[in-house]
Amino acid sequence: MLRNARDAEGRLMYRVVGDKKADDVWPIPQLQPASAEWTGYSTQKHPLLLERILELASRPGDLVADLFAGSGTTLAAAQRLNRRFVGCDLSLPAVHIAKRRLISAQEPRPGLDVYSVRGQRAPHSAAVMAAILDWLEAEPDAALGPLAGRVRNAVVRVHRDALPFSCREALRELKGVRARSEARLVCCAGEFEAGFWDALEGAGAAGCVLPVPIPKDALELGTDLDAPPCLLPRARVAASVRGSTVRVTLAGYAAPALSDALAGKPADAEAGLKSVDLWAVDTGWRPGAPFQATWFAAQPSHFRWREPKPVSLKSPPLARTAQSSLLVKVWDGLGRGASCIVSADTLQATRA
């Protein structure tokens, strides 16, 4: 039988309770398609769930890692709660959804960038190499080495380094190819350095080197490479400077098929603008620094059943950091990305 506690004089005693036992059920509302957080990703979690977990398990400034990031809910929650974060995913669409979600946040985290981390075993094996060369419709050539072949009038070289493939490396290989009286070089790599096309064009080698990204998800999973090989997407921008501001216009985007490039067919860069899903500008970029979106334009991430509106192709006047270059990144709806660098010298020459 319960009895009320009383003191020596018979008066009821009360205990002031300042804490509460934790519930074993968290009331989290269902995420609705009309929500701005909706991405359409099949396994997307409600952001309130991840925010509660992070508040319980970490402090502001801590590093949060989600190695199967999916649509990036954990990363978005960490960004809002002032945590540092690292997210990984093998799926290119997942990486794109998470990337656009983070870049499109009201206050993008400084230094947000996307890096390609490739496994140590790929593409080492002979089976993987054979699959890549077959995907490129290239014939292996032992005289060129174990990671090389030929397709039409071009030499193919596949690069397995985990670091982004640079223009300097491409020019060095092109020199060796020309020494063998070959016409062109097809460079196949998991990732290319920012502004790869700009560097090639500056060296006068844009028509001699054809960069082809390896689809990392298919490569790592060992699945068939069904999609036809396409060149590294290329973006063209125009920039005009007025005082301490710069206005950027996206003038073109193209990801032509390798077969078309080898046949000399021109790519319609203007038509490619219809496929742009997200593009962003870093007005204070310096070589080696991570990408930080100063401004972005993107398709809405929800209401996918509606007719999409064209992405804005012109930026408003953006504050520019003196003596710095512009880095513009563009992604299409398939998650393929292009980068374009407008150097500080070029900006100085275009000052209005």
Q: Tokens for 37?
A: 């957080």
Per-residue pLDDT of the chain (352 residues; tens, 9 = 90+): 667 788 888 888 887 777 877 778 888 888 887 777 888 788 888 989 999 999 999 999 999 999 999 889 999 999 889 999 999 887 878 888 888 888 877 555 556 676 666 554 445 567 777 788 888 889 988 888 777 889 888 999 988 777 789 999 999 999 888 877 777 899 998 889 999 999 999 998 888 999 999 876 555 555 566 778 999 999 999 999 988 899 999 999 999 999 999 888 888 878 789 889 889 999 988 888 888 888 888 876 544 545 667 788 999 999 987 788 899 999 998 888 999 999 888 888 776 5
pLDDT number for residue 120: 46
pTM: 0.78
Over the range 168-189, which residues count as b (16 or more CB within 10 Å of their CB) and which as e? Answer: ebbbebbeebeeeebebbbbbb
Element (H, E) at 196: helix 196-202
| C-alpha dihedral sign at 264, 269, 273, 277 | positive
Q: β-strand 154-158 against 184-189: which pairing, if any?
A: parallel
Count the neighbouring beta carbons within 10 Å of the beta carbon of residue 251.
Answer: 14
Alpha-carbon gap, residue 258 to 232, rounded angstroms: 9
Q: Are 148 and 156 in contact (CB under 8 A)?
A: yes
The answer as to CATH 3.40.1350 being correct for domain 126-161+163-221 is yes
Chain centre distance of CA 249: 20
Query: Which residues of the chain form CATH 2.60.40?
Result: 234-349
Q: Are 280 and 328 in contact (CB under 8 A)?
A: yes
Alpha-carbon gap, residue 98 to 228, rounded angstroms: 25
Amino acid, res. 193 = E
Query: Which residues of the chain form CATH 3.40.1350?
Result: 126-161+163-221
Segments in the chain forming alpha helices (H): 47-57, 73-80, 92-103, 126-135, 167-179, 196-202, 216-221, 258-262, 344-349
Fold (CATH) for 234-349:
Immunoglobulin-like (2.60.40)
pLDDT number for residue 281: 93
Terminal Cα-to-Cα distance of the chain (whole angstroms): 89
